[in-house]
Structure 1
């Protein structure tokens, strides 16, 4: 294996693109997810991944072999994400833009306007090997919307340390080498990051775990939600929500917490005569749906993507994204009349 890798490195340094792809392709998807955790934006993560691979291609002559190719690529990707975070060129919050509907007063205004969903189809193969022994989070939890949102509240250095140590399980000495710092600095940053994560999202740990993906319990809950939403049945929807259900709509800053206000929000949507069809998808390891508004001519126009967070046999959060994300999930912008 080492001889094969040495041969690939030698050929790649000589300008062999196929050899470079053979070195980097096994790590491409996990690097994409790493950039997504760092940045919270699917689009920014794609850009950072491409720039990481370009930096790696240009810098392969400086690879000394003391670390693995994987660790070296993570170093480059993390520093590329730092550059993105420093640029502060993130999506700004938007004003309310749903015509004919007056929203209820939000519980608060969210600050993570750039949050975007990550398609489950791209999570396959994103973690080819076992996590390091010091990893603290399950793979599904570490890509959940609640976790990724909470990460965005951390300062960049703490953010990187927490992901590299607690999510990926890299040893402290490897993380220190990646970040050009000391082991003691890594330990200190990790301690502060863990405290910050708990403070920013104290409800990260749901009172009840979600049902397993694709299980009968998940399928039943999802089917009840689809039926309630498509028939505008508020009573049926209420029965599915936890008392502290949370609704957010990035890049709109409006956030609603609590069943009463969430139901008022949904009732306003339905009361305006809007009716929808839902097309299933999956995002961030969670059930998701393309949302299509039924038009007067029968054509159904995509208005966005819902991602559900489940807790036991209830829905604890609903996140709505704009219709620009639909193509990432293989969903059309509109559906023909039925």
Structure 2
């Protein structure tokens, strides 16, 4: 495909790309991967709390999406569908971790450009947020992550989780209240 053809394909909407990819167009799927991989990585990073599994989770999500794309009924919802796949994969990893959790697997080495004090503070903040997020009920955590990390609207979150928008707003409000309470010392 020429550069103009790829550029033209890159300008296409999700519906067109998903339709072409569902028909086996690898280039269309590649555009979807480029379009949403950063968002999916950011989401997986926040849910998983470490970089060790993020690439695998996102790659597995795209492999599953490629296989299942012909079954997607609403091609306009490809973004939500991809995020649901990466969310499910991320939560699967968390469930597996809980089965045989080893504290040493969660240690993150300090980057050389940061001082030990700054890294210790950052790590402590991340651990506090991860702990606060893990204490939230599943629906509150999913809604909060989709809103704050994924940038989803209340309506999109409702569609994603099959909940009314009013319920989503309430869950996010309760999640924020719980997080503010749990993270009070970091204010």
With structure 2 as the length reference, what TM-score do the two structures score? 0.70
Higher share in helix: 2
Residue of structure 2 in register with 1:4 after alignment: 12
Distance in 2 separating the partners of 1:66 and 1:4: 12
Distance in 2 separating the partners of 1:56 and 1:203: 41
Superposed counterparts of 1:111-260, under 5 Å: 114=106, 116=108, 145=126, 147-148=129-130, 150-205=132-187
Distance in 2 separating the partners of 1:86 and 1:118: 27
Give the superposition deviation at 1:71: 2.8
Residue of structure 2 in register with 1:65 after alignment: 75
**Aligned with 2:106: secondary structure?**
coil
Give the superposition deviation at 1:75: 2.2
Distance in 2 separating the partners of 1:46 and 1:116: 16
- Select which of 27, 37, 48 maps to 2:46: 37
**C-alpha distance 89-39 of structure 1, shift in aligned 2 (>3 A):** farther
Give the superposition deviation at 1:175: 0.2
Residue of structure 1 in register with 2:4 after alignment: none
**C-alpha distance 186-35 of structure 1, shift in aligned 2 (>3 A):** same
**Aligned with 1:176: secondary structure?**
helix
Give the superposition deviation at 1:20: 0.9
CA radius of gyration, larger in: 1
Matched, 1:24 2:33: yes
Equivalenced residues, count: 163
CA contact (8 A) 2:46 2:149 kept: no
Q: Structure 1, residues 244-279: CA drift from partner, whole Å, max 9, x if none?
A: xxxxxxxxxxxxxxxxxxxxxxxxxxxxxxxxxxxx
**C-alpha distance 171-150 of structure 1, shift in aligned 2 (>3 A):** same
Q: Which runs of 5+ in 1 are unaligned?
A: 95-112, 120-140, 206-338
Higher share in strand: 1
Give the superposition deviation at 1:89: 4.3
Q: Structure 1, residues 208-262: CA drift from partner, whole Å, max 9, x if none?
A: xxxxxxxxxxxxxxxxxxxxxxxxxxxxxxxxxxxxxxxxxxxxxxxxxxxxxxx
After superposition, the CA RMSD in angstroms is 3.1
Distance in 1 separating the partners of 2:68 and 2:173: 33
**C-alpha distance 52-201 of structure 1, shift in aligned 2 (>3 A):** same
With structure 1 as the length reference, what TM-score do the two structures score? 0.41
Matched, 1:15 2:17: no
Superposed counterparts of 1:254-333, under 5 Å: none
Q: Which runs of 5+ in 2 are unaligned?
A: 1-7, 112-121
Superposed counterparts of 1:80-91, under 5 Å: 80-87=89-96, 88-89=98-99, 91=101
**C-alpha distance 195-172 of structure 1, shift in aligned 2 (>3 A):** same
